[in-house]
Structure formats: structure tokens, C-alpha cells
Structure 1
Amino acid sequence: MKTLVIANGKGGVGKTTDAAHIGFHAADRGLKTLVVDLDTGNLSKTMRHHRLEISASTLFVDEPPHVPSFDQTLSLLHADRLMANVIYMDLERACANFRVNLDLFARQGVDLCVIDTPANIGIATITALRCADAVISPVEMEDYSIEGIKDMIRVIAGAKQQNSRLQFLGLVANRVDRRNPRHLRHLQEVQAAHSKLMAPVVVGLRTSVAEALAAGEPVWKSRKTTARAAGAEMRALGEHVLGVMGVAK
């Protein structure tokens, strides 16, 4: 099983949107996919039709949870209130438990695990990074998000010191409004400043994406004409992740 973390210390940059679509895409490709919501629950709402009766907080407990066999191509570990207790855990203990408990799902034949993280660099995010194979970081083309790029890169570099296999799949220019001159200017600036760190995908700001996720489905299943471009972008993001991580059916 390969594990991907979606991380950024800023909120509202589209982490959950990317996590959901990467999960949907992997499942469409025939990969047994597990998505984990370590955030506030938006991913859990989107993927409610794929929910297992196991919460995300169980990945942090000392006693391994019972993981029954399951055959779904796409499954969710939902966010729960007990996640709030993770901030009080010792980091080393959290990492040790997380590795052991996540391995229970690998034994069930899961090919890819996609983890959505909170909008802060706390115990949950650091634990996920230390236990993952890869990380990708969405960035919105707004000043507050761009200013946080260097901080996020430092966090990832720190995680790699503890987890040598962690691979950075790039910064994803997310929620880009191509009708907004400021967004286009910021996109050019970010691409120029961080050319070697950018993922080869630009995800536009489109209402069809939010509407599809509210319905619990990927945007490429929407019948709206405006969803076609969004679907192509999200598929491209999924292909980038699967290709670089070497996950294939």
C-alpha cells in the first residue's frame, strides 16, 4: 500500500477537493483505495457513501482497531470528535500507533491511502507525513497562501529527515480563477519562483467542482458543460499522483 498526504498549513486552499478527486480517480482506475479524513469532516461529507464503520481517530489509539475484511474499491475513515484529543498525544507515540494501525488496512489489500490533513501543522499532520510515502501541497493564488509556501516546504523537509522515503509530488496551483488578473499574475510569480517544485497541473476555480462534491461524486460525473474542463484537470492531478508514486492496476 502506498500512502499519500495532502497538506498545507493554510485553510481554504482546496486540500479536501484534491484528496477526494485523487481518491475517486484511483478507484476508477481499479485501485482499492482508502481515504482518511484527519480534518474537520468535509471529506467525510463528500465521501459519505463510502464510509466504513471505523473512525480516523482509531489510527492513533494504542490498541489496534478491529478491521474486518471489506471489498469496496473506495472506502472512507471518517472524521470524528475524538480527533480533537490527538493534539495532546506524544508525537512518537502517535507515529508508532499510526504506522501499526494503518498497516492493518494494507493487509486488506488496499493499494492507495489518501490522507486529508487539518489546516495546521500539528500532531495529526506531522504524524501523517512521517508515515507516508508521498505528499502534495495545494496552494491558492492569494497572498496569504503564497506566503506560506516556504513554511510548508520547511515542514516537508523536516518530515523527510524522519521519513527518508517521503516523496514531494509538488505544489498544486489550486482554485485558480483565470478571469482574475491577480490570480494569473500570482500564478506566473509562483511558477517562476518555484518552477522545480510545481506539479504539472493547474486546477481552476469552478462552481461545478463544489456542486459535484456536495452530491458526493467527482466532477467528471457532472453533466454540466462547465464540468468538462474541471474533470480533465482533476483527472490529470490523479494521473500525476499515481504515475509518480508508481501505483497502477
Structure 2
Amino acid sequence: MKIFTIANQKGGVGKTSFATHFAFYLIEKGMKGVFIDLDTQVNASYTLEKSFPSSKYAHSLFQDNFSIDNSDEKLTLFLGSNELAEIYSNSSVNEVTKVFYNSIQILKQKGFDFCIIDTAPSLNSSLVAALFSSDYVLSPIEPEKYALQGIEKMINLISNIRKQNNKLIFLGMLISKINRRDPRHIKHYNQLMEKYPGFVLPQAIGLRSSIAEAVDIGIPVWNIKKSAARVASKEIKTVIECILEKTK
């Protein structure tokens, strides 16, 4: 089971939109997987539960007695909830990380092909736990000044986690929600390329209303029959294919 964490400490950068589309894509390719929503805003849960109803909750992965039966479901969804905030605030980082890691080891024994972890837009114990338990991490980023300022903290965190989890691979930054007609976006995009050569994925995802429409109704954007959706579909699929090539 390959474990992917989608993470950025800045919210509104297209993290959940990409994470849910990544899951849809892999399922359509015939894979069987797990999706863990560690965000108390539960946006990923809202989108995916329309196609993959679930009674499982992500906070159960932070309990010592975690167990799960074998399932024939294409996607096993662990829903986000308010209980996650209680765990993060009442437990030490080391305790949260250890218990979550052990739960992931149990999931590994159940024959899943992939696990996607969508994290909250903040630096908390669940983000540390997810990175400690993962094989790969991807950081979507919007080409805005505040997002650029925050990505350095994200990179430093990944670097520190790799001292304990040396198998963790940083797949890079995914430029998301870019408006190529906005000079400010183009300037910030170029700044990222100059400052982090080799750490920015070659394909960016544009600011597309069709993506927002898709996650709102709980389907991948390539199932929306509009010309604008076709452009968004091509961008997202190109990014995913790039990731799969990197993780062969």
C-alpha cells in the first residue's frame, strides 16, 4: 500500500480538491484504496461520501484498539469529524504519532493498493503523524504571497520528519488555482520556480470553476460535460500521471 499525504499549512490552496480527484482517478484505474480525512472542516468527506458512503471515522485511527474488517469496497473512507480537534489538543505529538502509525500498519495488512491522507491546513499533531506514516507527500500551493511565505515552513517540517521517517519522499509543490492572466500570479509562479528548482511539478492546475463544481456535487471534474471541465480534467490527470511515474 502506497501512502500519500496531501499537505500545506495554508488553507484554500486546492489541497482537498486534488486529494479527492486523486482518489477518484486511482479507483477508476481499478485500484482499491483508503482515504483518510484529517481535517475538521470535513470537505473531503462531504465530496467522497456521495459516492462512497461510510460509517468509519478518522478519529478511530488515533485509538489504541483500532481494528478493521476486510472489505470489497473500492474506497474505504474515514470521515473527518470534530472529535479530531479534541485528540489533537489533549494528546502529545509523540502519542498521536505512535497510535496513528500503528493503525496504518493494520491497514497495510488489508490488501489496499493506496492510502490518501488529506490533512488540515495547520501545523498540528495529525500532520506530523501523517507525514511520519507516509511514503510520499505532495504540497499544493496557490501562487499568492502568503502561500509562498508558508511553503518554506512546510518544507522545513518535511525535512525534519525525514530524520525519523527516511522513506518519506517529497514529490514537490503543485501549483494550484493559478490564473495565467493575472500578472501577480505569474510573478509568484516564477519566484517559486527560481527559489525551488526541481521541487515544482511541471504541470500546474488552473483556477477553474468546474473543479469547484465537481467537488461540490461529489464527482470528478472529467464527468462534467463542459468544455472548461475538459481543460481542468487534462491538467489534473497530467499531474496524477506525473506522480504515478515518480512513484513506480
TM-score, length-normalised on structure 2? 0.95
Superposed CA deviations along residues 172-229 of structure 1, whole A, max 9, x for unmatched, are 1111011212111211121122121111220100000000111101111110110011
1:10-159 alignment to 2 at 5 Å? 10-39=10-39, 40-48=41-49, 49-65=51-67, 67-87=68-88, 88-159=90-161
The answer to whether the Cα contact below 8 Å between 1:18 and 1:234 also exists between their aligned partners in 2 is: yes
1:243 deviates by 2.1
1:162 deviates by 1.2
1:230 deviates by 0.5
Structure 2: state its 5+ residue gaps: none
Superposed CA deviations along residues 47-75 of structure 1, whole A, max 9, x for unmatched, are 0121332100111111123x122112223
Could you tell me how far apart the structure 2 residues matched to 1:117 and 1:96 are? 17
1:13 deviates by 0.7
Could you tell me how far apart the structure 2 residues matched to 1:7 and 1:214 are? 21
Could you tell me how far apart the structure 2 residues matched to 1:53 and 1:71 are? 15
Question: Which residue in the other structure is 1:206 paired with?
Answer: 208
Could you tell me how far apart the structure 2 residues matched to 1:199 and 1:75 are? 28
Taking only aligned residues, the RMSD between alpha carbons, in angstroms, comes to 1.2
Q: Quick one: which amino acid aligns to residue 203 of structure 1?
A: I
Could you tell me how far apart the structure 2 residues matched to 1:51 and 1:136 are? 26
Could you tell me how far apart the structure 1 residues matched to 2:213 and 2:116 are? 22
The answer to whether the Cα contact below 8 Å between 1:137 and 1:170 also exists between their aligned partners in 2 is: yes
The answer to whether the Cα contact below 8 Å between 1:91 and 1:123 also exists between their aligned partners in 2 is: yes
Which of 219, 242, 245 is matched with 1:243 structurally?
245
Could you tell me how far apart the structure 2 residues matched to 1:241 and 1:114 are? 13
1:26 deviates by 1.1
**SS of residue paired to 1:148:** helix
Question: Which residue in the other structure is 2:176 paired with?
Answer: 174
TM-score, length-normalised on structure 1? 0.95
The answer to whether the Cα contact below 8 Å between 1:37 and 1:56 also exists between their aligned partners in 2 is: yes
Could you tell me how far apart the structure 2 residues matched to 1:114 and 1:201 are? 20
Structure 1: state its 5+ residue gaps: none
Could you tell me how far apart the structure 2 residues matched to 1:212 and 1:228 are? 12
The answer to whether the Cα contact below 8 Å between 1:142 and 1:183 also exists between their aligned partners in 2 is: yes
Q: Quick one: which amino acid aligns to residue 24 of structure 1?
A: F
Could you tell me how far apart the structure 2 residues matched to 1:104 and 1:144 are? 38
**SS of residue paired to 1:135:** strand
Superposed CA deviations along residues 65-97 of structure 1, whole A, max 9, x for unmatched, are 3x1221122231100121012222122221221
Q: Quick one: which amino acid aligns to residue 73 of structure 1?
A: K
